[in-house]
Amino acid sequence: MLEDLEYIEMMFSNEDVILLFLRCRRELLMELARGIGCRIPKSDETRKTICDFGDPIVAYSYALHIDKGPHLDTRLLASKNSFYAYFYAVNIDECPHEVTRKGVIDNPWDAFSYARHVDQRPSPEMLKAVSSDENVKQKYEAYFYNFDNWGVEYFEKKAY
């Protein structure tokens, strides 16, 4: 704990931020989730420290509530967990990105959701990712059945 305090004091001079990082992880996540993150300063230094924290949910929450936009540092860290890589692409990037696409490949359900909601089209990369779970593969193939014949316009009109 003392090493953490020294590291944080070295990174920040603002006492409020030091106290915030000394709280347990759960309290930090609860504050970010409730949007009380306004006490956390938005800066490159803070973002770097958040990423040094090494937790994908903290990086995702920081990008969503504090930065209110994508940054490479938070995207890379959030993409280490397939769940947060998917939600980073949906809620923060709001479009496909190579880093988040690679992040969802480990989990068949997240890969299917990414292909369906973010890419909005089938791809060999995602088909390979969902192939490890037969149930997900069947849903993937059923959802994208005849995609080449109908095109993306058909799928954008359908309400799923």
pLDDT values of the chain reduced to their tens digit, one per residue, 160 residues:
445 545 544 555 555 554 555 444 556 666 665 555 556 677 788 888 878 878 888 888 888 888 889 999 999 999 999 999 999 999 999 999 999 999 999 999 999 999 999 998 888 899 999 999 999 998 998 888 766 555 555 445 444 3
Neighbours of 39 (CB within 10 A): 12
Could you give the C-alpha distances from 82 to 6, 25, 32, 125, in angstroms and in order? 32, 20, 20, 15
Return the DSSP state at 20: H
- Rounded-to-integer distance, Cα 1 and Cα 144, Å: 51
Helix (H, G, I), strand (E, B) or coil at 124: helix
- Rounded-to-integer distance, Cα 79 and Cα 40, Å: 22
